[in-house]
Amino acid sequence: MKRIGILTSGGDAPGMNACIRAAVRAAIAQGLEIFGIRRGYAGLIHDEIELLNRRTVANIIHQGGTILGTARSSEFMTKQGRALAIENLDKREIEGLILIGGDGTFRGGTVLSQECGVSIIGVPGTIDNDVYGTDYTIGFDTAVNCALEAIDRIRDTALSHERLFFVEVMGHHTGFIALESGIAGGAEELLIPEAPLSVDELCSHLERNFNGEKRSAIVVVAETEQPGDSFRIARAVRDKLGFDSRVCILGHIQRGGSPTARDRVLAGKLGVAAVQMLAAGKSGYMVGEINWRIACTPLEYTWKKKKELNVELVEMRKLLCE
Ligand code: F6P
């Protein structure tokens, strides 16, 4: 293998740039040429591909987002779209691809690989941490710390006004961000899809809280299908208990910002591992980190298996969220 490509697809996540930088450095050290593909699969179809070198990835390690850009491409779902992508790979003799994203990114890449034989290695990059085969995804730690900072700030005003707050965090139908930021922020309750609470349960919990010594509370809510469900929950609590509350939806601020040290180190490790896998002739795997060690998982597991929340943390929340 002499030439490989790298792309970022799906939602951007802090640390993607650190991963691109690591992969470029590792590829050059292996004697490989590495091409950056802009806007994910859309750029592969529209031939937005350029050779990367150490200079083009200089001074990006601390930047959030992705210098390559990202997109969700419906064209790539079609055979005609992928045929154009294959032409662009063939004309540059690109034989391997590093795909940074989530399970949707890996699924698309697998179809492409089956159609043209290009080798593919996935790297988990999403703030949601909802990818099977890795303890943490690139971007998760930064997003959790962003949510935590917001929760800490909201606690100041919640305490001052003796108020109930609902803080809604992202997570793509999972509670990873809510669980970690909520526990770290000392939330009074967590609403996560993996361990649902009824409005009645939430209300009796809040009532206990406010009948005790507490005068304020923060409920961290994992975003559901549509962002903004917290408003419905807040209304239901007001109707039942008469509690006035405020809702704060953190939204896309969780996706931006400079990556934490933890995300940069993870991104570096996984970027290097991905290049090494391609250079060793491997394809169809995602490189992740399990118990601090590099772990390779067949790509199809990422969409066939569900990553579970840390059971101990879920249990612990009963003790810590009161
Ligand atoms: O997958 C990352 C994520 O930020 C989710 O947490 C969120 O639900 C979704 O992307 C938002 O997507 P978009 O960028 O299309 O608004």
Lowest mean pLDDT among 84-88, 162-166, 182-186, 224-228: 224-228
**Is residue 292 included in any domain, yes or no?**
yes
For a ligand 1 pocket test, name from 170, 224, 229, 252 the mutation site with the most ligand atoms within 8 angstroms of its C-beta: 170
- Find out whether 150 and 187 touch, Cβ atoms under 8 Å: no
What does the pLDDT look like over 197-229, one tens digit per residue? Answer: 999 999 999 999 999 889 999 999 999 988 999
Q: Structure pTM?
A: 0.97
Mark whether 270 and 135 lie in a shared domain: yes
Q: What is the edge-to-edge ordering of all strands in the sheet holding 49-51?
A: 49-51, 33-37, 3-8, 96-101, 119-124, 285-290, 293-298
Which two tokens mark 217? 């509370």
Distance 254 CA to ligand 1 centre (A): 10
pLDDT of the residue at 72? 87
Mark whether 77 and 54 lie in a shared domain: yes
What is the mean pLDDT of the segment spanning 165-190? Answer: 97
pLDDT of the residue at 247? 98
> Whole domain around residue 224: which residue ranges?
143-255
For a ligand 1 pocket test, name from 105, 255, 307 the mutation site with the most ligand atoms within 8 angstroms of its C-beta: 255
Mark whether 154 and 134 lie in a shared domain: no
For the domain that residue 117 is a member of, what is the CATH number?
Answer: 3.40.50.450
Atom of ligand 1 nearest to the CA of 223: 8
Share of the chain above pLDDT 70, in %: 100
Question: Structurally, how many domains does the chain consist of?
Answer: 2
- Catalytic annotation present for 128: yes
Mark whether 219 and 239 lie in a shared domain: yes
Mean pLDDT score of the chain = 97
What is the mean pLDDT of the segment spanning 188-200? Answer: 95
What does the pLDDT look like over 254-280, one tens digit per residue? Answer: 999 999 999 999 999 999 999 999 999
**Closest to 94 in 3D by CA, of 133, 135, 49:** 49
CB 317 less than 6 A from any atom of ligand 1: no
Specify the DSSP class assigned to residue 191: E
